[in-house]
Structure 1
Amino acid sequence: MLAAFTTAGGVEVGEVPEPVPGQGQVLVAPLSAGICGSDLHLVDALAGLGDQAPRIVLGHEFCAEILETGPGAAGRFAPGTRVVSVPHVLGAAGPVDLGLSPELPGGFAQRAVMQESLLLRVPDGLPDDHAALTEPLAVAVHAVRAARPAPGDAALVIGCGPIGLAVIAALKADGHGPVVAADFSPARRALAERLGADVVLDPATSSPYEKWADLGVVERPPSPLLADDVPAGNVVAFECVGAPGLIQQIIEGVPRHSRIVVVGVGIAPDTITPVSAILKEVSLTFVFAYRQAEFAHALDLLASGRVEAESFVTGAVGLDGVAKAFADLHSPDEHVKIIVRPR
């Protein structure tokens, strides 16, 4: 079968072995699969390994169609049913990543295998491309829940790439706000506003840390002076970039007793000054992926129209267009999410 896979030179399309469903698994045909920022990082990292780079069929954000049931599967879904899933299957040695591991192909392939017990049926009326957004939106749902926003809390989203935009959408879908969004890209700022951000800023010209009073944020006193009956800070901030130095910048910029959630995947080493956070009693939470219930909630948000999926999908390609799509996504002003349609 044809698939797009990693090589020492980037991404290529060619023949790969057909996947065979194992115990409790199903064979599927991917219909739509999103290109994630982690896919870009992985391709760049593997390029440095030369001939030692493993071949990985990418694509962990997908919507697929059931083809047939494998051994031990219960047959919960008839052939032709559209499904989404957290990108894992249960192998003999434990969970195996789909789209991020050389063991099994991800969604950038004509066929793949998935764990039947993890599948969710895609509701009728939800387009394939939009259903494929379930996975990245679930990341945002998990980040928002980790922040524990209360009614009236102000939210600050630093970085309006796909995950930052998804955080904005998840916040607004669940009725949280006001939301301040900051990004250098005019195109991404426009999308942030379209998705419901109440204040949208260009950090090159306006500091996102100077709008608290306008948003009803009251600076609380230091911890020793905070009475028991006075609520703590009412700001939640989301770091959605992963650039070194940004966590410290947010610590210095938010009011006392704020909650900071780090969603951006920082690859390079970073440094913070703990006393800056200690004196403000700032809480710092790092999040990874999502829970299964949050994945299901993300699908419901898309199916119900509470998240405007159309804003995220800015391009679509077949397998033969994957390499160019990866190149295009390195320019933040052109695209948010490019969908791969393997058929």
Structure 2
Amino acid sequence: MLAAYTTASGVRVGEVPEPAAGPGQVLVAPLSAGICGSDLHMVDEFAAFGDEAPRIVLGHEFCAEILERGPETSGRFRPGDRVVSVPYADGPSGPEGLGLSPVLPGGFAQRAVMQESLLLRVPDGMPDDHAALTEPLAVAVHAVRAARPAAGDVALVVGCGPIGLAVIAVLKAEGHGPVVAADFSPARRALAERLGADIVVDPAESSPYERWAELGVVEQPPSPLLPAGVPAGNAVAFECVGAPGLIQRIVDGVPRHTRIVGVGVAMKPDTITPVAAILKEVSITFVYAYRQEEFAHALGLLAGGRVDAAAFVTGGVGLDGVAGAFAELRAPDRHVKILVRPR
């Protein structure tokens, strides 16, 4: 079958072995699969391996159609059903991350296997492309829950790439905010506004940290002077870029007692000055992926129209267009999410 996979020289489309559904699995045909920033990072990192680079069929954000059931399946899903799934399935040595595994193919392929126990049925009438957004939106659901926003909290989202935009969408869909969004890209700032951000800031022109007071952020005193019964702070911040140095800049800019959530994936070492975070008593939480119930919640937000899914989809290609799509995604002003449609 045809698939898009990693090589030492970048992503390539070619023939790969056909997958077979094992016990508790189904064979599927991917219908739509999003290109994630981590896919770009993986291709870059593998270039250093040369001829030793592992071949991985990419694509962990997908909607697929069931073709056939494997042995030991329950029968609650049938051929023709459209599904999404947490991107894991059992391999010979244990769970494998679909789109991240050299053993099992991801969604940039004509066929793949999924674990029946992790499947969710896509509601009738929901576009394939919108269903494929479930995985990145689930990352945002997990990040928002980690921040524990309360009524009256003001949220700052630093970076309006796909995940930052998803965080904005989830915050607004769940009634949180006001939301301040910051990004250098005019196109991404426009999308942040479309998704509900209350204040949109170009960091090249003004500081996002100067706008919070007008939205009700209260700068409380240090902990030794904080009266009993007074909430410590009403600000949360999401780092959605993954650039070294950015967490420290957020620590320096936010008010005392802010809850900071690290969502962006920095691939290089980073440093912070702990005393700055200590004196402000900020909390810094890092999040990875999502829980299964958060994945289901993300599908529900999309299916119920509570998130503007169309705002995220800025392009689509077949398998033969994957390499070109990777090149286009390196220009941040042009796209948010390009979807691969393998059929």
The TM-score with structure 2 as length reference comes to 0.99
CA distance in 2, matches of 1:338, 1:175: 28
CA distance in 1, matches of 2:125, 2:21: 28
Any idea what the Cα deviations from partners look like across 1:285-326, whole Å, max 9, x if unmatched? 000000000000000000000000000000000000000000
Hey, what does 1:308 align to over in structure 2?
A: 308
Structure 1 residue matching 2:156: 3-state secondary structure: strand
The number of aligned residues is 343
Structure 1 residue matching 2:39: 3-state secondary structure: helix
Hey, what does 1:132 align to over in structure 2?
A: 132
Deviation of 1:91 (Å): 2.9
Q: Are 2:156 and 1:156 aligned?
A: yes
Structure 2 residue matching 1:64: 3-state secondary structure: strand
Deviation of 1:228 (Å): 1.6
Hey, what does 1:38 align to over in structure 2?
A: 38
Structure 1 residue matching 2:129: 3-state secondary structure: helix
CA distance in 2, matches of 1:34, 1:206: 33
Hey, what does 2:328 align to over in structure 1?
A: 328
Q: Which amino acid aligns with 1:259?
A: R
Deviation of 1:47 (Å): 1.0
Deviation of 1:61 (Å): 0.1
Any idea what the Cα deviations from partners look like across 1:204-252, whole Å, max 9, x if unmatched? 0010111121011110010000012101110000000000000000001
- 2:91·2:104 contact (CA, 8 Å) conserved in 1? no
CA distance in 2, matches of 1:341, 1:325: 12
**Which runs of 4 or more aligned residues in structure 1 lie more than 2 Å from their structure 2 counterparts after TM superposition?**
90-94
CA distance in 2, matches of 1:55, 1:218: 52
Structure 1 residue matching 2:28: 3-state secondary structure: strand
Structural mapping, 1:201-212, within 5 Å: 201-212=201-212
CA distance in 2, matches of 1:212, 1:297: 29
CA distance in 2, matches of 1:156, 1:332: 20
Any idea what the Cα deviations from partners look like across 1:240-266, whole Å, max 9, x if unmatched? 000000000000100000000000001
Hey, what does 2:74 align to over in structure 1?
A: 74
Q: Which runs of 5+ in 1 are unaligned?
A: none
Hey, what does 1:57 align to over in structure 2?
A: 57
Q: Which amino acid aligns with 2:257?
A: H
Hey, what does 2:89 align to over in structure 1?
A: 89
Q: Which amino acid aligns with 1:111?
A: R
- 2:235·2:255 contact (CA, 8 Å) conserved in 1? yes
Hey, what does 2:276 align to over in structure 1?
A: 276
Deviation of 1:92 (Å): 4.2
Hey, what does 1:109 align to over in structure 2?
A: 109
- 2:315·2:339 contact (CA, 8 Å) conserved in 1? yes
CA distance in 2, matches of 1:92, 1:220: 54
Deviation of 1:46 (Å): 0.5
Hey, what does 1:246 align to over in structure 2?
A: 246
Structural mapping, 1:8-27, within 5 Å: 8-27=8-27
Q: Which runs of 5+ in 2 are unaligned?
A: none
Structure 2 residue matching 1:209: 3-state secondary structure: helix
Any idea what the Cα deviations from partners look like across 1:51-110, whole Å, max 9, x if unmatched? 000111000000000000001111211110000000001234321110011110000000
Structural mapping, 1:218-229, within 5 Å: 218-229=218-229
CA distance in 2, matches of 1:93, 1:104: 12
Q: Which amino acid aligns with 1:293?
A: E
CA distance in 2, matches of 1:51, 1:205: 45
Aligned Cα RMSD in Å?
0.6
Q: Are 2:291 and 1:291 aligned?
A: yes
